[in-house]
Structure formats: structure tokens, C-alpha cells
Amino acid sequence: MTSVLNVKDLHTSFVMPDLTIAALQGVSLSVDKGEILGLVGESGSGKTLTGFSINRLLSAPGRVVQGEVLLHGQDVLSLGEEDMRHLRGRRIAMIFQDPMMTLNPVLRIETQMRDALRAHEKMSKAMARTRAIAALDEVGIPAPESRLRSYPHELSGGMRQRVAIAIALLHQPDVIIADEPTTALDVTIQGQILSLVQNLCRDRGTALIWITHDLAVVAGIADRLAVMYAGRVVEIGPVDDLLDAPAHPYTRGLIDSVPARGQRGQRLKQIPGRMPALTELPVGCSFAPRCEHAKAACAALPDMTALDAERSVRCFYPLAEGSA
Amino acid sequence: MAEFIIKRVLQAMVVLLIMTVLVFFGVNVIGNPVYIFASSECDQACLTKTIAELGLDRPLWEQYFVFLSNLLQGDLGNSFTHGIPALSLIFERLPATLELAICALAMALGFGLPLGIWAGLHPDTIISRCIMAFSMIAFSLPVFWIGLIMILTFSVQLGWMPAVGRGDTVDVFGTELSALTLDGLHHLVMPAFTLSLIMMAIVIRLTRAGMREVIFADYIKFARANGIRERRILTTHVMKNLLIPIVTVLGMEFGGVIAFAVVVESIFSWPGVGKMLIDAIGVLDRPLIVAYLIFVVFMFVVLNLLVDILYSLLDPRVRLGGNQT
Amino acid sequence: MSSVSQTPTAGSPRELARRFVSVPSAVIALVVFILFCIIGFGAPLIAPQNPYDLRQVDILDSLMPPGSQSYTGLTYWLGTDGQGRDMLSAMLYGIRISLIVGLLSGFLALVVGTFVGLIAAYRRGWVDTLLMRIVDLQLSFPTILVALILLVILGRGVDKIIFALVVVQWAYFARTVRGVALVEGAREYVDAARGLRLGGMRILFRHILPNCLPTILVVATVQMAMAISLEATLSFLGLGLPPTRPSLGLLIANGFDYLQSGRYWISVLPGIVLLGIIISANVLGDRLRDILNPRL
Ligand SMILES: Nc1ncnc2c1ncn2[C@@H]1O[C@H](COP(=O)(O)OP(=O)(O)OP(=O)(O)O)[C@@H](O)[C@H]1O
Ligand SMILES: [Mg+2]
């Protein structure tokens, strides 16, 4: 099966007159139709940046300096600006973290939805209205006609995120990049939003990249998992395999630091040390300074190596199954 | 909404009442009211007569209520020099001032918004620095000095622009307007531009600062991520957010424009209420002066009220009355 | 000063001075401003004539262009005005009066405004509400309008214009100082001082006030420029200073009548000086704000 979205060795830097920060240094991942890919990693590892690099919405001075983003085999990075605009929202949609901030505070929901619709299709106001109502209905918003007249601040956080999801789904995109869409919501609503997005994507065969730093969330929803560390994808594969038998020491560390059921009261393991600043990354494996398995060879940068047909890892000494 | 407006109107009325008290007592306690209401050529007998006429021998609070009830009937006394009610004199001169002020407002927005937007979009360029330097200079230079240099340059040296008066006017619904004749427009440009500079400076700064804030907002990124065209984003999604602070400040500053019109009108001999005031001060036409003060205070309070209402119409968060921040 | 009153954010005075010196425009503005002060306050010593001593002024010398000579041999480097006064001398005296009015009114407004602001921040509650309502009301009217109204009621005079300027400016100080003082008041070191059971006034003036000073300095610089500009404007309109005390604004007004006939120097030269003072003070305020980085 060919993947809907295929990102190959993506490098993104912030190029400033006096210094260049290489924030992404090799992100490779892919998602298939109807598949949910979890993208995890600690804060600052470059998850958000990956999303914005894919749909080319980096704000200056950030820019993609190397790599490929293929949507159905077509190179997104070489598209003209107008073609790119036409891709955004129509074929690649995004959902942001904070629903309080993603809707324009001074425009009615109707205006915002109509604008999103008209960005890609010519249509009358009435038509746009019908489509918007249908979309709001689909994400489970009660009385959608009257909600259209509302301003964002009149809705609760959960409702706003539903509106944002409805907007993202308006054009039946091929891929949705959801950047921690539940982090800002309270727990009960998190679950609702989670299953809503999951079902909607399954039904339509939309590929979904779910960015989070919460492994517990991703374990319940994702098919495959990509783990990022300091601007690189260090491990990717089916979610169950990865969680049961992590190959990268960093993935192992992440899993161990999540409180697991049935182990209450047990002390959580912490990964020693902190992620280095982007400006002072080691030359070789960037996890080596914190890795208990690091050896001399780790002073060089490991490539992504395939473990089997579906899994690859960026480590010279991948953990064998069952080892701690 | 109705409740909000009623509340604001009541507040404005309270402020207005306080202001009449202040003006009244300012006039009656600090200055000697006889001198304010009597002509400067008045002799002793005439003074005594005036005192009795004006009821100045009665207690102060009683005088205040007489003053207030006259005020409510629109009676602000007669001008000495013109011999007609001061208020009708003001209304006769007002269109000229309003025309000047509105043109200045239009210029401030017409130049200020694009310059501010440009500076906000390209913050680190030399042109942007120049725009900001211009805004600082325009803001801090005294208005009369700018007017003077304009006259010296464009009227005296180059001879391009007339320095004095309104030029030809057209009668529109009983109001004389300069802006509709070529000659009038020619006369209007320089004073209006001079008057617009302070506000233009404010508009530039606000627009730039607003741009810097809004274009990085998540909702703008989200709009981009939905593929909405840049033009549409700028003209609606960004602009609506920008306009809220700008409209508020402009509404507040419009009063300042009317006040500075006094300066501009007297430099360019523009026959508006400001020029009238300075002339009235020159010949000590006191009732006219007092009438002007009351009128201006009234205009201000009403203006502030309108700004509040307009603001609430623009910003849905305020309109719905929450104390959300 | 006790150790608890050290500002946690602002650097030491020496550090601030070093930062100030490293900004060329700030230094230039300061030097220019100080120069104006020196020649303004030294006017009686350096001016070629006392332009308001009628025995020294010759009406026959009126309206002479810059560089002309009087028959007594005095060179009018900057020309003469309509009454035959030496413009250079008139301007030096004008600078003096403009600066006196600006500095004095700025200082008085500072004292009044700072006091009100501190009280509001310290007492909070209804005192604060009442004072800030007054400040808001005051600030909702344009300064020039309020000053104009006051001078119309009061008449001309140095004392009157200073009073009017103080009335229109104190509110700016009050609001800013209150803002800073509220923040400072919430800081731990003031709690520490409270813990030491220091009296209220002592905390206010020994601990909170010093930390408001950088902000006050910035506001004062900008307000002084405002005061000078406002005074010039009012004097130009014939509302501010009496003709016996001609400030720069009045000099410009006197020359305005001659502008049309091409005798530009009578208006333009004092205008340029006025500009120099206002811009240098404004630039100074702007740079000080950057350097001291007060929360404005
Ligand atoms: N404008 C910028 N200039 C320089 N570096 C930046 C800029 N924006 C982001 N970065 C860097 O890029 C890295 C990746 O940031 P990103 O926001 O993608 O992290 P993240 O994985 O999404 O983290 P979080 O979980 O906190 O959202 C960070 O280390 C950050 O410091
Ligand atoms: Mg992020």
C-alpha cells in the first residue's frame, strides 16, 4: 500500500544572520489511508515544527532546508505558493492545541467556516451555511444553526475544539495533523474529543497524525507510533510492538516514566539528564549522553535501520526483546 | 445590549453634570463671574445692573440651578460682539471645524493604516524604521510649528497652496462645505494634513503594534492552515482585530483633534469654532467663550459615549458584558 | 538602605549609566538638552543685549535680516524682530523661560502625581477607586483642551500656565506610578519589610518609591517635552505667557505675521530651537525607557 503522506529525512532550520539553529535534523515518517500515527516526544523535540514544516507554515526565520514531503507521491515542498495554499485545509488540515486561541475572537463561527469553505470552492452564502451546519452536526454540536451565529468566546473549550475539528474536516482532507488537540481540555472532554476524531477519521479513511507527549493517549488511539528526540525520529513502528518491546533506549525510558496500571505506588523511573539545547547537540547520537547503553560507537550518528518490515530505529544497539 | 447602552448613557450624564459643576464653579469662584458675563466696557452702574440681572447676589447653589436650567433650554447667553445667541454662532461655525476634523481623520487613517500595516509586516527594514521615526516626530512636534512650516514652504516659497480661509464652498442641505469644490479642496488640504499628523502618528504606532501581535496569533495560523487567501486573512481576520483598539483610540483622540483644531484654524484662518474661540478671547467676548467651553465639554462626553458603544459593537467580548479578560 | 530594598530587576546605577553611555543617540540627546539648559539659564550672561530693556532696543533696527549691523556696531547675527530686538538675545531669553516653565511644571506634576499614585496603590480600596476615577476622567479630556479652558478662566501669567500644566499632567504620573507601585508592593521584599514591622509611610517612601523612580524618570522626561510643547502652543495662541515674558512660542507667534512677507527668521529660528529642545527631550525619554525598561 502506498502511503498518503510520506516525509523523508526532513531538515528544518532557523536561519538568522548570526546563527543557525537546526531544529529538525532528519524526520522520516509516513501515514497510510485511514491510519492514525502517533507522534510523541518530550517538549521541544520538534513535533509542532514537523507539522508546520509539512504544510509549509513555518514563520520566519524557520525554513525547510532539506528533505521531501510527498503527498500521494507528489512533492509538496516544490509547489508554488498558490498551489500550496490550495493544499492547506483541502488536502492537509490541522487542528491546534489550544481551542481558546485557534478561532478568531471577533468573527462569528459562520464567517470562519464560510471563509474556510470558500478558500477552495466557489459557493453561495446559503450553500456555505448548509455545509457548515452539516459539518457542525457531524462533530456532535447541538443546535448547529444557532451556534453559527455565536462568537468563539460564547462556546466552551470542548465546543470550540469541535468547531475546529469541523473546520478541519470541511474539505474531506487526505491527512489531518492534530497537534495536541486535547491537552488544553479537561479530562472528561479529552476522551470525547479523542474518540470523535478517531471515529471520523476511520469512517472517511482520513490519515491522522496525532501529536502528543502523552503516551497513554496515543496507546489507545494510534495504529503506529513515531518517537522524536531532539529533532529526529528515533523509532517508528506499530504501536503495540513499540510499546511492548521498544528498541530505542529513549522509547524505553519514555514508557518507563508513564505510571502504569497495577504498578501504583511503585516509583517511576526517570530518564536521567535533560534533552540538550538544539545549539549544543552532540555530534553523534543525540541521546548518547543520557543513555545507559551508550558505547564508543555512539559518538557517530546512527542511521534509521529497519528492524523488520514495519519497524525502524535510529540506534547502533537496539534493545533486544525482553531486555530492560 | 440595550442595558449596556442605558448604563453608559446614565454614566455620561453623571459626568456631564459633574463637568457643568466644574465649569460653573470655575467661572464663578476662580474668575469673577461679573467680568465673564459683562462686556469689558461696562462701568460701575452697568456692573451693578448686570449683577442683579444675572442673579449674582443670590446664593451660589441657586445660581447654579438657574445656570443649569438655562443650559437645558439651550440658552448660553448672547455674544457681545455679534449680538446673537452664542449657541447659534457656534452651530454656524461648527460645520467648518467638523469638515476639517473629519478630513484630518480620514487622512490619518488613509495614510496611517497602510504605513502601520507595512511597518508591522516588515519590522526590520529601513523603510519601517523611517516610518516609525516619522511617527515619533509627527507625534512630538507642536502642531502650530508644523502648520507654520507648511505655510512657509508651500504658500510663501513655492506658492502652491493658499494659506488662508476655506476657499469656495458649496451648500449641501444648508451646510457650507469646502471639500466639494476644487478651490475649497485646495484650501482644505494643508490644514487638514497638519491637523491629521498627531492622529496619523498614533494610528501608525497602534497598527504596527497590533499587526505584530495579531499576525502571530494562533487563529491567524489556523486560518492559513485552512488555506484562506492572504488577502482575505489580512482584510478580515487580521483587520477586524486591529480595528478594535484603533477605533477606540481614534474615538478618544477625535476630541483631541477638535481641540487641536483651535490651533490649526487660527494658523490657517479657517473659519471654524476654534478660530471663533481665539477671536472671542482676543476681544473678551466672554459669553461666547463660556458657551464654547460648555459646548466642547458636552461634545466630548457624547463622543466618549459613542466610542464606548461602537467599541462594544466591534468587540463581541465586551458586548456580551462578561468580565472576561 | 537595607538589603531588602534592593530592586530585583533594575541594575545598579553604575550598570545603568554604562548602558546609557553605550547608546549614542541617548548621549547625544542628553548633551543637546544640557547645552540648551546651559545657554538658557546663562542667557543674561551671554546674550548680546537684554531684549526686554527698552533702552537697549532700537525700533529703527526692526526687521533686519540675520548678519545685519546696527549703527552702534552690534551685529544682529540672527536678525531682529518687528520691534528691533536682537533675535539671538530674544531666543536665549525665550529658551530660558520655556525651560523654566517646562521643568517647573513637570516637577510639580511629578510630585503631585507620584504622591497620589503611591497613596492609591498603598491604600487600595475606595481611596484607590476614587483617585483612579478622577485620573480616568481627567485623561479622557485632551490635555490641550483642559489647559485651554483653565487659561481662559485664569488669564495669562507664568504662575497660571504652570498651574494649568500641572493640572493636565499630574494624572499621567499618578496612573503610571500607581501601576508600578502595585507591582512593587506585591513583591516579596516589601512583604519582608512588612514582616520587619516597618511603618506604612516608611515602606511607601523607603521601599516602594525608590523602585518606581526609573519609571517616574521616563515619564518625567516625556512629560517635560510635552509641557514645553504645550506652553509654546498656548503662548502662540496668545493664552499662555504675557508679552513681557516671551517664551519661544510667543516669539514664533510674533514672527508669524511677518512670515508672508518672507521675513522667515523671526518665526523659524525660535521654532528650530523649540524643535531641538522637544526632540532631544523626547529621544532622551525614549532611550531611557529602553534602557531602564520600566513596565510602561
Ligand atoms: N522561532 C524559533 N527560533 C528558534 N528556535 C525555535 C523557534 N521556534 C521553535 N524553535 C525550536 O524548535 C524546537 C522544536 O519546537 P517544537 O515547538 O516543534 O517542539 P514540540 O515538540 O512541539 O514541543 P511541545 O511539546 O512543547 O509543543 C524547540 O527546541 C524550539 O526551541
Ligand atoms: Mg508543540
List, in order, residues 6 or more apart from B31 with CB less than 8 Å away: C153, C154, C155
Domains in chain C: boundaries: 87-292
Assign A10 a pLDDT band (cuts: 50, 70, 90): very high
A237's enclosing H/E stretch is strand A232-238
The protein residue whose alpha carbon is closest to atom 14 in ligand 1 is A46
C-alpha cell at C236: 502662540
CATH topology of domain A1-82+175-184+213-259+269-324: Rossmann fold (3.40.50)
Residues, chain B, total?
325
pTM: 0.79
Query: Residues B60-64: what's their mean pLDDT?
Result: 78
Assign C3 a pLDDT band (cuts: 50, 70, 90): very low
Q: Residue written as cell 448547529?
A: A144
| C201 against C20, higher pLDDT | C20
Query: Residues A225-249: what's their mean pLDDT?
Result: 90
Q: 3.30.420.40, 3.40.50.720, 1.10.3720.10, 3.40.47.10: which CATH number matches C87-292?
A: 1.10.3720.10
User: In the prediction, which pLDDT does A323 show?
Assistant: 47
Residues of B with CB under 8 A from a CB of C: 15, 18, 23, 26-27, 30-31, 136-137, 140-145, 148-149, 151-152, 155-156, 163, 252-253, 255-256, 258-260, 262-263, 266-267, 278, 281-282, 289, 293, 296-297, 300, 304
Contact B146/C232 with Cβ under 8 angstroms? no
Asked if C262 has any chain B CB less than 8 Å from its own CB, the reply is yes
Question: Which candidate in C101, C137, C141 is best for mutational testing of the B interface (most B CBs within 10 A)?
Answer: C141
List, in order, residues 6 or more apart from A44 with CB less than 8 Å away: A275, A278
| A134 against C291, higher pLDDT | A134
In this predicted model, what pLDDT tens digit does every residue of C49-95 receive, in sequence order? 777 766 666 666 666 666 667 666 666 666 777 676 777 888 888 88
> Among A68-72, B156-160, C176-180, which range has the highest average pLDDT?
A68-72
Does the pLDDT of residue B269 top 80, yes or no? yes
> Among A75-89, B69-83, C83-97, which range has the highest average pLDDT?
A75-89
Q: A260 C-alpha vs ligand 1 centroid, how far in Å?
A: 29
Does the pLDDT of residue A118 top 90, yes or no? yes
Asked if C264 has any chain B CB less than 8 Å from its own CB, the reply is yes
DSSP A126: H
In this predicted model, what pLDDT tens digit does every residue of A176-186 receive, in sequence order? 999 988 887 88
Query: Residues C174-178: what's their mean pLDDT?
Result: 89
| A144 against B157, higher pLDDT | A144
Does the pLDDT of residue B204 top 90, yes or no? yes
Q: Is the distance from the beta carbon of residue A51 to the nearest atom of ligand 1 less than 6 Å?
A: no
In this predicted model, what pLDDT tens digit does every residue of B37-57 receive, in sequence order? 666 666 777 777 777 766 667
Average pLDDT of every residue of chain C: 79
User: In the prediction, which pLDDT does B203 show?
Assistant: 92
In this predicted model, what pLDDT tens digit does every residue of B217-240 receive, in sequence order? 889 999 999 999 999 998 899 988
d(CA C253, CA C232): 9
User: In the prediction, which pLDDT does C1 show?
Assistant: 36
| A271 against A227, higher pLDDT | A227
Query: Residues C144-148: what's their mean pLDDT?
Result: 84
- Note the ipTM here: 0.89
User: In the prediction, which pLDDT does C295 show?
Assistant: 47
Assign C239 a pLDDT band (cuts: 50, 70, 90): confident
- How, if at all, do strands A5-15 and A20-31 pair? antiparallel
Domains in chain B: boundaries: 2-72, 92-314
- The answer to whether the CB atoms of A89 and B221 lie below 8 A apart is no
* Three-class SS of A198-226: HHHHHHHCCEEEEECCCHHHHHHHCCEEE
C-alpha cell at C173: 504620573
d(CA C204, CA C201): 5
Assign A92 a pLDDT band (cuts: 50, 70, 90): very high
Assign B36 a pLDDT band (cuts: 50, 70, 90): low
Average pLDDT of every residue of chain A: 87
Residue B285: C-alpha distances to residues A134, A296, B79, B108 (Å): 71, 97, 6, 34
Helices C24-41 & C265-292, crossing angle to 10 degrees?
A: 130
In 3D, which of B322, B224, B271 has the Cα closest to residue B92? Answer: B271
User: In the prediction, which pLDDT does C56 show?
Assistant: 66
- Please report the DSSP string for C202-222 in residue order: HIIIIIIHHHHHHHHHHHHHH
* C73: exposed, middle or buried (Cβ count in 10 Å: 0-12, 13-18, 19+): exposed
The domain at B92-314 falls in which architecture?
Orthogonal Bundle (1.10)
Query: Residues C38-53: what's their mean pLDDT?
Result: 77
Q: Is the distance from the beta carbon of residue A233 to the nearest atom of ligand 1 less than 6 Å?
A: no
A touches which chains (3+ CB pairs under 8 A)?
B
Average pLDDT of every residue of chain B: 81
| C198 against B12, higher pLDDT | B12
Q: What percent of chain B has pLDDT over 70?
A: 85
Contact B144/C233 with Cβ under 8 angstroms? yes
Q: A43 C-alpha vs ligand 2 centroid, how far in Å?
A: 7
The protein residue whose alpha carbon is closest to atom 22 in ligand 1 is A48
Closest chain B residue by Cα to residue A118: B228
Closest chain A residue by Cα to residue B316: A106
Q: A163 C-alpha vs ligand 1 centroid, how far in Å?
A: 26
Query: Residues A161-176: what's their mean pLDDT?
Result: 92
Contact A96/B218 with Cβ under 8 angstroms? yes
